[in-house]
Amino acid sequence: MSSRNTFNYLLLLLSFLLSGCSAMDDNILEQPGIIGTLVLGGIVLMVVCIFIVVRLNQLLSVLYTRKIQKDRETLKEEILNLEDSDVEELLLKRRAALEFRLAGNELSGEQVAEDSRGIVRQVSTEEFIPVVAEKKEPPMIKGTDPRLSRLVAAFAASAALWLLLGTGIGQYLGMKFIWPEIDNVPWLSFGRLRPVHTNMVFWGWASMAMLGLGYFVIPRTSNTRIYSLRWGWTTWWLVNISVLTGTLCLMGGINNGGGEYREYIWPVAALFAAGLFLTFLNFYKTVARRKTKDIYISNWYILAGLIWTLVLVTIGYLPFYQEGLGETIIQGYYMHQGVGMWFMTFTLGLVYYYLPTALNKPIYSYALGILAFWTQMLFYTMIGTHHFIFSPLPWWLQTVAIVFSMGMFIPVIAGTTNFLMTMRGSWDSIRVSYVIPFLLVGVIFYFVGSSQGSFQAFRFTNYVWHFTDFNVAHSHMTMYGIITFFLWGCLYFILPQLTGEKPKPVLVGIHFWFALLGLLAYMFSMMLGGTLKGLSWMEGKPFIESVVLMMPYWVWRAVGGSLMFLSHLLFAINVYTMCGRFLMKRPHRIAKSIS
């Protein structure tokens, strides 16, 4: 599809939006859900623009230096045209200047330099490179049990592998929209591979990374040692085996019935749940023997996330009420809570620890965190059925879901405010740290992605967007923009401290930009394409037209996806730099080398 066509579609959409044309009496722009989503999209663009402006500014300063050089050239020419007598005078002055020598102690005096208080953290003699600004080291966290560090690093390493594999598969699936004949192997066919992608990035990447990061936070904030390292390792094995067997089952055509994120059959899901249960016991017992009086807010989220997910998996897989549309109600509940009660809750817990720690300051408001916690539980639980608006499910259940989706603004705004207010006054860290930009993008998408989800629950927006590729944009805004960016920030912060190995800043920088720009291309193409698809259906055009019109947007999605995948390659390399050598050492050697 040529760019001209894309342009035409854009024009079409614009004229449609502005004229409130034939398909509807109401102007689409007057719909609160649409307005809200446009505003949210604008927020993302604005933040990215600010990012880009800051970076461009640095690049421009290089150009400015060039201009100065040019001025020098002109000066040189002027000098060449000078009279002999003037030249002689100047040369004499110059000789005197050149022959002047400093004694060498004008600034320092006679004393030998010494940093007796350990204030200097980093001595750099490298030249300034504008593309990758030199980053500051985060404050060091000392005194971690090296065996625990090893466990956290192992979780991070397998998470990175699952991310690479899972998004590689995702990228391949994206290409199948453009070249449906790319292969003809049953194990690689679209229908079987799609759940492989989603489940692998959910249970393999995000869950493993979360668990690993949690294993550091819980003992740290409880000021005690982890209850059982062995249970931690058992969890590591259980989850990895679960994802591996689950993947093989799905590719072999054995799935639970096609409900999203519930595709693993119950024996496979049971392995995952067993791992979670062990970790819950482990965390609970660690918190129980904490040496602090209060339970830090992170631990609220992490413990509750584990409890809620265990309940959720149990309800999701028990068969007693899942005949007929009973299954559909459970599916809405399960798929939404899987995201909300597991990934979102647990990750928020991590952010409540890693964000203030990385900024070396306390969280802005403890009370706001607690408000967000209870409202998260109350509102998130009720909104699963908003995936089935206009379906044959009871109207009251759909309405409850829509109403509580609006309620989600409370925890989301509370959380966002808390994080932004914590960052306030530390904006400089965005420039000097490679951890904070990841966390900031996570915070922005936490607000934008979650609010956009609430808007999408309106009956009108659902009318246009449901069943279209818009949903795919939403799930990538949240699982990628929020969860994945938060996890990256946390991992880049903690891993170097545990292993003593730092990644190359330039690789972290490229990772950040590829991931962010890739995500933007992905989400805006799917949002725009999805909207056009919905409008085409509303106009009653033949279905195949909506397939044809999506093609350019699918191409853009593949472009964005490629950038994202490349960034994951760099992330994997960085994780290898940070953990590879550390993990290959024998455990007792680590203990020795660190002590």
Partner 1 sequence: MLNPGKDHRALAGLSFGVFVLLSLVVAVLPATTMQESNSPLPGSSPLLEAAQRGLKVYVREGCVACHTQQVRNIEMDNVWGSRPSIPADYYYAKARMDVWRQSPSILGSERTGPDLTSIGERNPSETWHYMHLYNPRIVVPESIMPSYTWLFEVKEEAEEEDVVLNLPPSLKPAHGVVVAGNDARDLVAYLLSLKQVDLPTVERDFISSRKKRKEETQTTPLAGNSTLPDGASLFQANCAVCHQPDGRGLPGAFPPLAGSPIVTDENADTIIRIILEGYDARPEYATMQPFGDLLTDEEIAAIVNFERSHWGNNAPPVTPDDVKKLRVPANVP
| Residues that contact partner 1, how many (by CB under 8 A) | 91
Q: Least distance in Å: CB of 179 to partner 1?
A: 9
Q: What CA–CA distance (Å, rounded) separates 81 from 138?
A: 55
Nearer to partner 1 by Cβ, of 300 and 524: the residue is 300
Q: Is 189 in the site for partner 1 (CB under 8 A)?
A: yes
Q: Least distance in Å: CB of 186 to partner 1?
A: 5
Q: What angle do CA 365, 370, 372 make, to 5 degrees?
A: 95
Residues 333-392 that bind partner 1 (CB under 8 A): 333, 341, 370, 377-378, 381-382, 384-385, 387-388, 390-392
Q: Radius of gyration of the chain from Cα atoms?
A: 28
307-333 as b/e, with b when 16 or more CB fall inside 10 Å? Answer: ebbbebbeebbeeeebeeeebbbbbbb
Structure tokens at 399: 């309405």
Q: What CA–CA distance (Å, rounded) separates 234 from 154?
A: 12
16's CB contacts (< 8 A; 6+ apart) are 23, 28, 535
Nearer to partner 1 by Cβ, of 164 and 173: the residue is 173
Residues 477-516 that bind partner 1 (CB under 8 A): none
Q: Least distance in Å: CB of 176 to partner 1?
A: 7
Q: What CA–CA distance (Å, rounded) separates 66 from 73?
A: 11
Q: Is 330 in the site for partner 1 (CB under 8 A)?
A: yes
Residues 550-579 that bind partner 1 (CB under 8 A): none
Member of 139, 326, 425, 587 binding partner 1 (CB under 8 A) = 326
Q: What CA–CA distance (Å, rounded) separates 424 from 327?
A: 46
Q: Least distance in Å: CB of 519 to partner 1?
A: 20
Q: Least distance in Å: CB of 565 to partner 1?
A: 21
Q: Least distance in Å: CB of 181 to partner 1?
A: 7
Structure tokens at 93: 């002055």
Q: Is 267 in the site for partner 1 (CB under 8 A)?
A: yes
Q: Least distance in Å: CB of 451 to partner 1?
A: 21
57's CB contacts (< 8 A; 6+ apart) are none
Among the listed ranges 49-57, 114-122, 172-180, 412-420, the one in contact with partner 1 (CB under 8 A) is 172-180
Nearer to partner 1 by Cβ, of 102 and 544: the residue is 544
Q: Is 176 in the site for partner 1 (CB under 8 A)?
A: yes
Query: What burial class does residue 103 get, using C-beta atoms within 10 Å of its C-beta: 0-12 exposed, 13-18 middle, 19+ buried?
Result: exposed
Member of 13, 132, 244, 254 binding partner 1 (CB under 8 A) = 254
Q: What CA–CA distance (Å, rounded) separates 331 from 335?
A: 6
Member of 270, 315, 410, 555 binding partner 1 (CB under 8 A) = 315
Among the listed ranges 100-108, 133-141, 283-291, 439-447, the one in contact with partner 1 (CB under 8 A) is 283-291
Nearer to partner 1 by Cβ, of 269 and 495: the residue is 269
Q: Is 174 in the site for partner 1 (CB under 8 A)?
A: no
Task: Output phi, psi for 122, to 5 deg.
Answer: -145, 125
Q: Is 265 in the site for partner 1 (CB under 8 A)?
A: yes
Q: Least distance in Å: CB of 339 to partner 1?
A: 13
Among the listed ranges 149-157, 282-290, 514-522, 586-594, the one in contact with partner 1 (CB under 8 A) is 282-290
Residues 97-116 that bind partner 1 (CB under 8 A): none
Q: What CA–CA distance (Å, rounded) separates 425 from 444?
A: 17
Q: What CA–CA distance (Å, rounded) separates 227 from 108?
A: 53
486: nearest Cα among 447, 520, 428, 431: 447
Q: Is 272 in the site for partner 1 (CB under 8 A)?
A: no
Among the listed ranges 252-260, 483-491, 499-507, 521-529, the one in contact with partner 1 (CB under 8 A) is 252-260
Q: What CA–CA distance (Å, rounded) separates 268 from 204?
A: 13
Structure tokens at 245: 């067997």
Q: Is 29 in the site for partner 1 (CB under 8 A)?
A: no
Residues 35-94 that bind partner 1 (CB under 8 A): none
Q: What CA–CA distance (Å, rounded) separates 167 from 160?
A: 11
Nearer to partner 1 by Cβ, of 167 and 468: the residue is 468
Structure tokens at 105: 């102690």
Q: Is 2 in the site for partner 1 (CB under 8 A)?
A: no
Member of 63, 117, 543, 584 binding partner 1 (CB under 8 A) = 543
Q: Is 311 in the site for partner 1 (CB under 8 A)?
A: yes
Q: Is 474 in the site for partner 1 (CB under 8 A)?
A: no
Member of 33, 170, 174, 195 binding partner 1 (CB under 8 A) = 195
Q: Is 291 in the site for partner 1 (CB under 8 A)?
A: no
| H or E segment and range at residue 302 | helix 297-317
Query: What burial class does residue 551 get, using C-beta atoms within 10 Å of its C-beta: 0-12 exposed, 13-18 middle, 19+ buried?
Result: middle
Cβ count within 10 A of residue 430: 17
Within 13 Å, how many C-alpha atoms sit on residue 295's CB side?
17
